[in-house]
Each structure stands twice: as C-alpha cells, then as structure tokens.
Amino acid sequence: MIRIIILFCFIITLASSRVFAQPENIEVFPSAPYDRYIIYEMLALFRVGIIGLIVIIRMKLKEIERIQFMGLDTAEKEIPLLD
C-alpha cells in the first residue's frame, strides 16, 4: 500500500513539473510590416462588411414593419387565385 502511495506521489510530482515548464515561444503573427498591413486591412474590410450587413437587415425589418402597418399583406390574401 505504501509503495502505491509513493508511486502516486512520484507521478504527481512528474506531472506538475511538466505543467510549470517554460513552453516554447511560437511566432503566430507575421514579423514583416507588409504582412501586418494586409492582416489589418482584411480585418477592417471584414468589420465594414459586418456593419453593412447589420444596416441592410435593419432596413429590411423596417420595410416589413411598414408593409404590415399599411396592411398590404392582408390585401394579398383577398386576391382570387386563377385555377
């Protein structure tokens, strides 16, 4: 039983030493200024696109509200169908 406890403590000590080890620094951002400029430019275009989509959705929702307020959607239900 004591051997199991000692082995368990040894395994925990090894595992904790791996946790506190210094990891390698991996470069994830480009070091060239031109590449950084391209990344920032793409981020700016992406954000402008998202804002544009939000504006378009808001315009469409206001148009739907206006049509419902005018009652145009109820008039379409009364139109006879050609069979």
Instruction: Tell me the per-residue pLDDT of 55-77, one tens digit each, with 9 for 90 and over.
Output: 999 999 999 998 888 876 666 66
Hey, what are 11's tokens?
Answer: 């395994």
Kindly report the number of other CB atoms within 10 A of residue 15's CB atom.
9
Band of the pLDDT at 4, cuts 50, 70, 90?
Answer: confident
Tell me the average pLDDT of the chain: 82
Give CA separation, 14 vs 10, 19, 75, in Å. Answer: 6, 9, 77
DSSP, collapsed to helix, strand or coil, labels residue 6 as: helix
pTM score of the predicted model: 0.53
Distance CA 2, CA 32 (A): 58
